[in-house]
Amino acid sequence: MSLSPTSKLRAAAICLTLTAGLLTALQNARSAAARAFLAQEATAATTGLTPQEKRGKQIYVRGTTEAGREILAYVGDALIEVPGSTLPCASCHGLDGQGKPEGGVVPSNVAWETLTKPYEVTQASGRKRPPYTERALELAITRGLDPAGSKLHPAMPRYQMAREDMADLVAYLKRVGQDRDPGLTEKSITVGTIVPAKGELAGVGQAIRAALTAFFDEVNGRGGIYNRRVELKFIETADTPAATAANLKRSLQDEQVFVLAGAFTAGADREIAALAGELGVPVIGPLTLSPQTGRPLNRHVFYLLSGLEEQARALVNYASQKSQGDKSGVLVVYPESELSAGAVAAVKDQCQKNNCGPVETHGYQRAQFDAQGLAGKLGKTGKQVVLFLGAGDEAVALMREADKLNWSPAVYLTGAGGGGVMEAPPSFNRKIYLAFPTSPADQTADGAREFRALAAKYNLPRTHLATQLSAQGAAKILVEALKRAGKDVSREKLIETLEGLSDFQTGLTPAVTYGPNRRIGALGAYVVTIDLEKKEFVSASGWVNVN
Amino acid sequence: MKVKLILTLALAALVVFGPVPCGGNQSAAGQAQRKTQRRKSVRYECPMHPEVTSRRAGKCPKCGMALRLAKNDGPAQTAGTAERATGTATEGAGAASSLRIPDAVVYNQNGRRLNFYTDLVKGKVVAINFIFTTCTTICPPLTATFRRVQSELGEHMGRDIELISVSVDPVTDTPARLFDFAEKFKAGPGWTFVTGDQSEIDSLLRALGVAVADKNDHTPTVLVGNDATGYWTRAYGLASPATLVKVITEASDHK
């Protein structure tokens, strides 16, 4: 079916406004009031490890103890001391205990049944050893001796740890290779998500809930993934980021969640990313404006869309391209906040890369926003390119005052700052540019059709469409990665598979690419300008890449 | 009576079974042939662990290097690189002939662009090892060993002696990753981690004689050299730091 150009534009305008609405909501998440999340009852872990084995697994995989006691490793003939976390067992012996040969070193298979074979075993190096016992295993780990008393290969470190921790480790070693990641059984896979439940964001929460339930019900109806049903678990946000993280931690430990998808993490991004890294849970496509991409890169969180910082960079790229050679520089105006600090640094960095001239920054206090005074001060700088990182209404007020002073620079806004921008004075016609991390153009015919069919079948809410598209985009990435990883999947394998995604089309969002050093799928933005006469969004550029 | 019967049977067995050949040619010509074969039989040894020998080609169980024909049986050959052992005073080490080190464009852990030979090797005594940051089995011990070597070399570090770690996975190992890796092992000044374009690093690894198809098969070798005198040698990266310091000091003292 073909729409007339006007209808298409209107549809685009609606979509963009909704996206702007979502982005504004995300930016206000911290201030959203939410009642405390009521703790869910812990379900008994039917399959899985005992608490002791879980503690042992942490030692095996990470080289750290739950109680925080120190583990030291002494490696090589010279017994060089390093922390246990530098040389955890799993890095050489593998998560499955089979051993990962490398550079001529062949770490042995440490599965319990292999270690305790009831006959003498001859290793590749010629060393013969009788079967291991628990005590012999402890000696191997602490003194580097096999049950026959021969020295193990110098690459095997000797570990020093408390008695209780050794007991925990040995307990886990009896299960290594047999245990599966939590949330994964023969017949099911548990996918968690975080939803705001109360206050002004409740609608967003409902939208996520509905979109994901519909999507996975459909997947289950078609037989699931490798015959596994997808079970959804909803975790609600709480009043503070710390409380939200605590809810999440409890749910991850009790509810046996394998992976998180389409979770609303805005407002608690840092805490949730840290928790995901700590517990080793992959998080796919969280809804947020501030992807945590600082170094060292958190390997567990895979963002779908660009956040505030990346959108700002895209704007700088676009502005530099437009004003070829004009080095008069950029004026960055921002509300004093943590979110802005990162964006300002990103703008400075990107400007340097683009050689766009001097960057002047001007921060203001949100509570004491004085449009007139600000316009006066900024007008004197004479800059023609302004990057404004505040809210939409603040931007419009500023533009009105600037108009009175006959100063109409090009104004660049990120998607979240576009609310009410149609009210700007006419002198700014086609001088306002907005960055959007996604656009209606990203929906392929198939993707749009599928989405509409789901919306009709499951009666999805007609509001918060941008949220629903984003959540389903994340779900699609998860399903694709699970399919590629195969039936014998684990969290680590899922992460490796996700890292291999290149230009993957969700049909609802821009194409997504990840890599060992890349955790934002669609890195860049679309730039749109505003026709204030016709009150329309007009595309100013195609996809602007940020690398 | 019984004894006589047994003796007769035994004699009969000898008569029946005696002349039957039991595995080799009984003829004189055959015997001579066997002797020649034994004279021509080959021995293989590990270039780094001369005590490891074998009758067949293969890999050394201690360090994974390809075994080469032992010296007395013919021209020494290592699989993959044509080098002649020149012998050193240090046990367990093998020597590499004067290497031609290319001036490959590389980036250090701070993102600074360097020319490998001119900036890092020329006129210096260097120890070079090969790692990649996502390597979990052997690179941590290799790097920990280098760290101990660095602290034992003390003031010489950065002045006349440099340590270099070359990434064998340059695509994944960005300078940022190298920086984080170096920090994890508390690498001090005078120790450079390098990465670069895949093609540049590949040509560098080939010239150094350590290129392999799969990064997981990368060698635990440490190349030690004194560029001023053209003296180069190899050592086992997982040897004790004291051994490595000895090799480096010898290279430094080489005239």
Choose among B244, B253, B170, B205: nearest CA to B99: B205
Whether residue A155 and residue B176 make contact (CB cut-off 8 A), yes or no, is no
- Cβ contacts of A348 within 8 Å, gap of 6 or more: A359, A361
Quick one: pLDDT at residue A29?
56
Choose among A393, A429, A423: nearest CA to A411: A429
Does B141 contact chain A (CB < 8 Å)? yes
Q: Is B133 helix (H, G, I), strand (E, B) or coil?
A: coil
Mutate to test the interface with A, among B130, B138, B174, B218 (most CBs of A within 10 A): B138
Quick one: pLDDT at residue A7?
63
User: Which of A179-188, A282-291, B83-92 is least confident?
Assistant: B83-92
Cα–Cα distance measured from residue A389 to residue A343, given in angstroms and rounded to the nearest whole number: 8
Quick one: pLDDT at residue A37?
27
pLDDT at residue A543 above 70?
A: yes
What does the pLDDT average to over B168-174?
93
How confident is the model over B147-156, as pLDDT tens digits?
Answer: 999 999 988 8
Quick one: pLDDT at residue A195?
94
Quick one: pLDDT at residue A56?
93
- Check if the interface score ipTM surpasses 0.85: no
Quick one: pLDDT at residue B97?
54
How confident is the model over A506-531, as pLDDT tens digits?
Answer: 999 999 999 999 999 999 999 999 99
Q: Band the pLDDT of B80: cuts 50, 70, 90.
A: very low
Partner A, chain B 116-135, Cβ-Cβ below 8 Å: 134-135
How confident is the model over A130-143, as pLDDT tens digits?
Answer: 999 999 999 999 99
Quick one: pLDDT at residue B82?
34
For residues A159-180, one letter each, b for 16 or more C-beta atoms within 10 angstroms of the residue's C-beta and e for the rest, the string is bbbeeebbebbbbbbbbbbebb
What does the pLDDT average to over A451-464?
94
Distance from CA of B131 to the nearest CA of A (A): 10
Cα–Cα distance measured from residue A393 to residue A476, given in angstroms and rounded to the nearest whole number: 35
pLDDT at residue A223 above 50?
A: yes
Question: Which of the two residues, A14 and A543, has the higher pLDDT score?
Answer: A543
CB A490 within 8 A of CB A278: no
Does A294 contact chain B (CB < 8 Å)? no
- Cβ contacts of A180 within 8 Å, gap of 6 or more: A47, A48, A490
Quick one: pLDDT at residue B20?
45
Quick one: pLDDT at residue B2?
61
**Set of chain B residues whose Cβ sits within 8 Å of the Cβ of A103:** 64, 135, 137-139, 142, 216-220
Residue A345 token pair:
């640094």
pLDDT at residue B13 above 70?
A: no
Q: Band the pLDDT of B73: cuts 50, 70, 90.
A: very low
- Provide DSSP, A231-281: EEEEEE--SSHHHHHHHHHHHHHHTT--EEES-B-TT-HHHHHHHHHHHT-
Q: How many CB atoms lie within 10 A of CB A145?
A: 16
Q: Which residues lie across from A194 on neighbouring strands?
A: A235
Q: Band the pLDDT of A34: cuts 50, 70, 90.
A: very low
Owner of token pair 């000091």? B249
What does the pLDDT average to over A238-251?
91
Distance from CA of A90 to the nearest CA of B (A): 9
Mutate to test the interface with A, among B52, B137, B165 (most CBs of A within 10 A): B137
CB B101 within 8 A of CB B181: no
Of B184, B220, B239, the CB nearest to A86: B184
pLDDT at residue A45 above 80?
A: no
Mutate to test the interface with B, among A80, A496, A517 (most CBs of B within 10 A): A80
Cα A61–A63–A64 angle (5° rounding)?
110
Cα–Cα distance measured from residue A519 to residue B199, given in angstroms and rounded to the nearest whole number: 26
Does A542 contact chain B (CB < 8 Å)? no
How confident is the model over A117-129, as pLDDT tens digits?
Answer: 888 888 877 888 8
Residue B170 token pair:
């340059």
Cα–Cα distance measured from residue B169 to residue B103, given in angstroms and rounded to the nearest whole number: 19
For helices A445-458 and A465-485, the axis angle rounded to 10 degrees is 110
State the Cα torsion B193-B195-B200-B205 to the nearest 10°: 50
Q: Band the pLDDT of A17: cuts 50, 70, 90.
A: low
CB A406 within 8 A of CB A376: no
Average pLDDT, chain B: 78
Q: Is A502 helix (H, G, I), strand (E, B) or coil?
A: coil
What does the pLDDT average to over A147-156?
90
State the Cα torsion B191-B196-B200-B202 to the nearest 10°: 80
Question: Sign of the C-alpha dihedral, residues A130, A132, A136, A142?
Answer: positive
Top mean-pLDDT range of B26-35, B74-83, B124-133: B124-133
Q: Torsions phi, psi of B11, nearest 5?
A: -60, -45
pTM: 0.77
- Give the amino acid at A396: V
Q: Which residues lie across from B157 on neighbouring strands?
A: B161
Residue pairs spanning A and B at CB distance below 8 A: 94
Whether residue A82 and residue B241 make contact (CB cut-off 8 A), yes or no, is no
Average pLDDT, chain A: 87
Q: Where are the beta strands (DSSP E) in chain B?
A: 44-45, 53-54, 68-69, 94-96, 105-108, 113-115, 125-131, 161-167, 191-195, 221-226, 231-236
Cα–Cα distance measured from residue B148 to residue B138, given in angstroms and rounded to the nearest whole number: 16
CB A277 within 8 A of CB A298: yes
Backbone dihedral region of A239: left (phi > 0), alpha (psi from -120 to 50 degrees) or beta? alpha
Whether residue A103 and residue B65 make contact (CB cut-off 8 A), yes or no, is no
Cα–Cα distance measured from residue A219 to residue B176, given in angstroms and rounded to the nearest whole number: 40
Cα–Cα distance measured from residue A61 to residue B86, given in angstroms and rounded to the nearest whole number: 45
What does the pLDDT average to over B147-175?
91
